[in-house]
């Protein structure tokens, strides 16, 4: 592998919808597939549903990420083994998520990655094991709620990073450029 001139792969960006996001997770928004009403209080004035199948087998953390535009290049891809990480936009600003199908291999299938544009009114919950890069902001100050296990946050701490990668019980974060020699860029 020649790191001075990596092979460049361009990922086209497609708008996320219920069907195309299904191999990677579930759309979380007004158009989500929802379960039946879970509450019948307030005589129909409040409808509580379960729009996604969120899973976590331990303490879960709710955090707010303020995302700024950065180069549309994928350096890292990661996956989680014990929870269905969720991203929920707060600001109504669009963002892009790069996703790869869950697998049992050491790396994701690079040639099958997909880049999805979320319009800022819907988020998503990933299946366990879905490969992903942290969402890319299209506009400044894109605020996104991130729901993940506490263990994952600890796995991402700087004292757990070795050779630019992080690994733990619920995290497998790989430097894709270094491991494959391929520079993946979003075709914006």
Q: What is the pTM of this model?
A: 0.87
Residue 5: pLDDT over 80 = yes
| Count of H-run helices and E-run strands, the chain | 3, 16
pLDDT in tens, 117-160: 999 999 999 999 999 999 999 999 999 999 887 777 676 777 77
**Hey, where are the domains in the chain?**
7-187
Closest CA to 188 of 74, 66, 27: 74
What is the rounded CA–CA span in Å between residue 44 and residue 48? 10
Architecture of domain 7-187: Sandwich (2.60)
10 Å CB burial of residue 109 (0-12, 13-18, 19+) is exposed
Q: Which pLDDT score, from 0 to 100, does residue 49 have?
A: 65
- Sorting pLDDT into bands at 50, 70 and 90, what band is 94? very high
What sign does the dihedral 26-38-46-85 (CA atoms) show? negative
Tokens for 83, please give them: 């929870």
Q: How many CB atoms lie within 10 A of CB 70?
A: 9
Bridging pattern class, strands 7-15 and 182-187: parallel
Question: What is the arithmetic mean of pLDDT over 75-99?
Answer: 93
Tokens for 134, please give them: 């942290």
What is the rounded CA–CA span in Å between residue 61 and residue 142? 20
Closest CA to 116 of 19, 50, 38: 19
Task: Give, for 176, the enclosing helix (H) or strand (E).
Answer: helix 176-180
Q: How many CB atoms lie within 10 A of CB 90?
A: 14
What is the rounded CA–CA span in Å between residue 12 and residue 176? 18
């Amino acid at each position: 592998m020649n790191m001075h001139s990596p092979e460049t792969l361009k990922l086209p960006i497609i708008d996320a919808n219920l069907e195309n996001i299904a191999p990677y997770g579930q759309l979380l928004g007004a158009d989500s597939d929802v379960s039946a009403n879970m509450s019948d209080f307030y005589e129909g004035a409040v409808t509580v549903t379960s729009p996604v199948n969120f899973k976590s087998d331990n303490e879960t953390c709710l955090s707010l990420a303020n995302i700024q535009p950065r180069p549309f290049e994928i350096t890292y891809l990661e996956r989680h083994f014990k929870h269905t990480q969720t991203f929920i936009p707060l600001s109504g600003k669009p963002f892009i998520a790069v996703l790869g199908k869950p697998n049992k291999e050491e790396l994701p299938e690079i040639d099958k990655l997909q880049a999805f544009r979320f319009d800022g009114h819907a988020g998503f919950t990933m299946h366990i094991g879905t490969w992903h890069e942290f969402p890319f902001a299209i506009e400044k100050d894109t605020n996104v709620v991130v729901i993940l296990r506490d263990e994952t946050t600890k796995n991402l701490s700087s004292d757990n990073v070795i050779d630019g990668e992080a690994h733990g019980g619920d995290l497998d974060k790989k430097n894709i450029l270094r491991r494959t020699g391929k520079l993946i860029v979003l075709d914006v």
